[in-house]
Amino acid sequence: MYDDPKRYENDGLFDEDTDYEDEYEADDSDYIVDDEDEDDFDAFEDDFDDYDDEDDDYGYEDSYSGSSSYSSSSNALLSIANPDYSYTAKHVSLSSYDRAKLERLVMGEAGTMGYTGCAVVAQAIRDSMNRSHTSSIDAIIREYQYFGSTNVQPNADVKNAVSFIFDQDGIAVQHRVMCFYIGYSSWHETQTFITQVGGVRFFDLNA
């Protein structure tokens, strides 16, 4: 299905920190990790220690629990022309590791897009997790080819948007979102257009 290498291109929306090239370890028994992914980068590891103490506050679990709960689908942040009223927010529980790195990924992909843009990106990540039956952010980054930096601390918009999508089971748009880009991509434009926030266009995959 995915044969276009540009389908998840970031196209330079945010500057990538090229000093960070190695993935760091996560406990992901469902995903094969290449040898080059074995090294942790120090900045994330230091900040991640602060998240370990927050598990009790959020009640996150280390395993995927996509079937556990659903939210009301009537309070989307954005109105769209083609709402899917069968779409519901399927809950995904995150480990503290996955939450910390997911927030950084949303920061890298959408940190300057405001709360709403961050929420649409966070929903795209949650929808991808449900599609792929995993709560591992490392697996999602690899499978869906996210290129946003995970070196930058998340801002308030990111944290609030991730909480809305993952803690409150909120929805940004009344439709599944699977990919997005800025600029132009002929492959993306063959998929189902959902919405645009600033210069970023969001899509669902065609059935």
Range of the structural domain that residue 43 is part of? 35-174
CA 98 – CA 63 distance, rounded (Å) = 10
Q: Is 19 contained in some domain?
A: no
Q: Is 42 contained in some domain?
A: yes
> HSE of 38 in the Cβ direction (CA atoms, 13 Å)?
3
At 55, the amino acid letter reads D
- pLDDT score for 149: 96
CA 121 – CA 35 distance, rounded (Å) = 29
Q: Is 206 contained in some domain?
A: no
Q: Is 117 contained in some domain?
A: yes
First-residue to last-residue Cα distance in the chain: 10
pLDDT tens, the chain, 207 aa long? 344 444 444 443 444 444 434 444 444 444 333 444 444 445 555 555 554 444 433 333 333 444 333 334 458 999 999 999 999 999 999 999 999 999 999 999 999 999 999 999 999 999 999 999 999 999 999 999 999 999 999 999 999 999 999 999 999 999 999 999 998 899 999 999 999 999 999 999 996
CA 118 – CA 135 distance, rounded (Å) = 19
- pLDDT score for 19: 45
Q: Which residues pair with 202 in a beta bridge?
A: 180, 195
**Do residues 102 and 94 lie in contact, with contact meaning Cβ atoms separated by under 8 Å?**
yes
- pLDDT score for 47: 56
CA 12 – CA 9 distance, rounded (Å) = 8
- pLDDT score for 184: 86
Q: Which of 181, 204, 205 is nearest to 13 (CA)?
A: 181
For the chain, what is the domain count?
Answer: 1
Q: Is 166 contained in some domain?
A: yes
Q: Is 179 contained in some domain?
A: no
Q: Is 30 contained in some domain?
A: no
- pLDDT score for 203: 97
